[in-house]
Amino acid sequence: MKILLFVNHERLTTTVGGAEKVYAEFANEFTRRGCEVGAAYNAPDDAPFVFPVDSRVRLFNLRTSSRRAPAFVAAKIWREITRPMRKTFLAPLFPDFIPALKRKSLKAQIDATLSRFRPDVVVLFAPDDAQAFFHRRPRVDFATVQMSHGSPDWFLNELPLDELRALLNRCDVVQTLLPSFAPPLQAVCSPPVVSIPNVVPRFAESVDVDERERAGSPRIVFPARLDMLQKRQILAIEAFAKIADACPDWTLHFYGDEDGGDKYRTRLQARIAELRLNDRVFLRPSTLNIKAELLKSDILAFPSSFEGFGLALGEALSLGLPAVGFADAPAVNELIIDGENGFLAVDVDDFAQKLKTLIDSKELRRQFGANAKKSVEKYEASKVWNAWETLLREIVEKRRSHRL
């Protein structure tokens, strides 16, 4: 089976993110299973992937963002000269040609990739990937899968609904991460929507509560990109501030970078200073070895507003780390089982109190940690990848039978 993984961006080479990790793991796993895997992406250079892929994976860099092409340079000059006109009623007379040039270049590159690789199935990672892939492509002879890495509310707002529906209806199947996410997606498209979760590694190691106590320096951790609307690090800071005086030995550590600048980091640093927590709250860069940081932590704070699944949350639970999240956060409120492997809070005050409850009870942290490891066993790698292989082979065979 020949599988082409398709994304229309360069984050594979720049970003330590959940979807990027899944992409690499998908490529590596199906290469190990004897499939021929192609990785199509769109980056300005040949920088290596942040999460390495097997050397047998065939890389197809679409390179549609080159700014040296004469047509692109001319279009950019035109865009700058005519920019004031596009803010007036004369805008239709002064179009921006760059998007059309990018789409034309992208289609040519995709056509070349399909001709060279000839996939049995193409896996699209996001709605805008499907938008790019199906552009001026009236039909395809291979199977296609649209993945959803976010909650239904996020996914259904990525594109105008009519456009999204049309794209989904061109796919053979739509995949989502949790069973509860399937009905809202099925309501807007005709292909079957299937639930296949992310892999949560089954770590042999666990957070050792007694060892952590002997080590001193107890700490709360949250690994995630710095993001104001989804990850909401500010809420964890506000909650920690409410209990900091009562827990003088504890610290709070964030691991993550900010996409496209440092506005949110600056805001977080300012708030930390206002609360006089500079020696208690730390903003650290993202790391590829987050497992080591989780193992030397005591509690996971997870204040996200929503997740598609929550890879960092799953890994923390697999290491036996009790977690605190919000009860209204999709996916978070399914991985965290309130009162069993962590707590779900209703607001920041409640979040602070739940943290304090765990801080005050070593035995509760021990109990929740043991439960946490058991709670994610159902996301073990072989179960997830077997489900994917069964799905891919079924839709490929169905496509082939329709062509006969």
Half-sphere exposure of 132 (CA within 13 A, CB side): 25
pLDDT of residue 102: 67
Q: What are phi and psi of 300, to 5 degrees?
A: -100, 120
Instruction: Judge residue 330's burial from the number of C-beta atoms within 10 Å of its C-beta, 0-12 exposed, 13-18 middle, 19 or more buried.
Output: buried
348-381 pLDDT, tens digit per residue, is 999 999 999 999 999 999 999 999 999 999 999 9
Q: Could you count the other beta carbons within 10 Å of the beta carbon of residue 132?
A: 23
pLDDT of residue 65: 52
Q: What's at 120, amino acid-wise?
A: D
pLDDT of residue 259: 83
- Does residue 404 have a pLDDT over 60? no
- Does residue 192 have a pLDDT over 70? yes
**Sheet architecture: strand order including 251-255:** 281-284, 251-255, 219-223, 299-302, 323-326, 342-345
Mutual angle of helices 233-243 and 263-274, in 10-degree steps: 10
* Mean pLDDT confidence for 178-189: 96
pLDDT above 90 as % of the chain? 78
pLDDT band with cut points at 50, 70 and 90 for residue 17: confident
pLDDT band with cut points at 50, 70 and 90 for residue 73: confident
pLDDT band with cut points at 50, 70 and 90 for residue 402: confident
Instruction: Judge residue 362's burial from the number of C-beta atoms within 10 Å of its C-beta, 0-12 exposed, 13-18 middle, 19 or more buried.
Output: middle
247-293 pLDDT, tens digit per residue, is 999 999 999 999 878 899 999 999 999 999 999 999 999 988 999 99
- Residue 56 CA to its chain's centroid (Å): 25
* Mean pLDDT confidence for 173-199: 96
**Between 101 and 321, residue with greater pLDDT:** 321
**Which structural domains are found in the chain, ordered by start?**
2-200+381-403 (3.40.50.2000), 209-378 (3.40.50.2000)
143-183 pLDDT, tens digit per residue, is 999 999 889 999 999 889 999 999 999 999 999 999 999 99
pLDDT of residue 85: 76
pLDDT of residue 72: 64
Angle, CA of 233, 126 and 334, to the nearest 5°: 50
Q: Look-up: residue for tokens 């509760």?
A: 364
Three-state secondary structure string covering the chain: CEEEEECCCCHHHCCCCHHHHHHHHHHHHHHHCCCEEEEEECCCCCCCCCCCCCCCCEEEECCCCCCCCHHHHHHHHHHHHHCCHHHCCCHHHCCCCHHHHHHHHHHHHHHHHHHHHCCCEEEECCHHHHHHHCCCCCCCCCEEEEECCCCHHHHCCCCCHHHHHHHHCCCCEEEECCHHHHHHHHCCCCCCEEECCCCCCCCCCCCCHHHHHHHCCCEEEEECCECCCCCCHHHHHHHHHHHCCCCCCCEEEEECCECCCCHHHHHHHHHHHHCCCCCCEEEECCCCCHHHHHHCCCEEEECCCCCCCCHHHHHHHHCCCCEEEECCCCCHHHHCCECCCEEEECCHHHHHHHHHHHHHCHHHHHHHHHHHHHHCHHHCHHHHHHHHHHHHHHHHHHHHHHHC
Write out the two tokens for 248: 């003088």
Contact in structure between 155 and 177 (CB atoms under 8 Å): no
Specify the pTM.
Answer: 0.84
Comparing CA positions, the residue from 332, 338, 342 lying closest to residue 307 is: 332
pLDDT band with cut points at 50, 70 and 90 for residue 74: confident
Write out the two tokens for 76: 């950019």
**Which residue(s) pair with 251 in the sheet?**
219
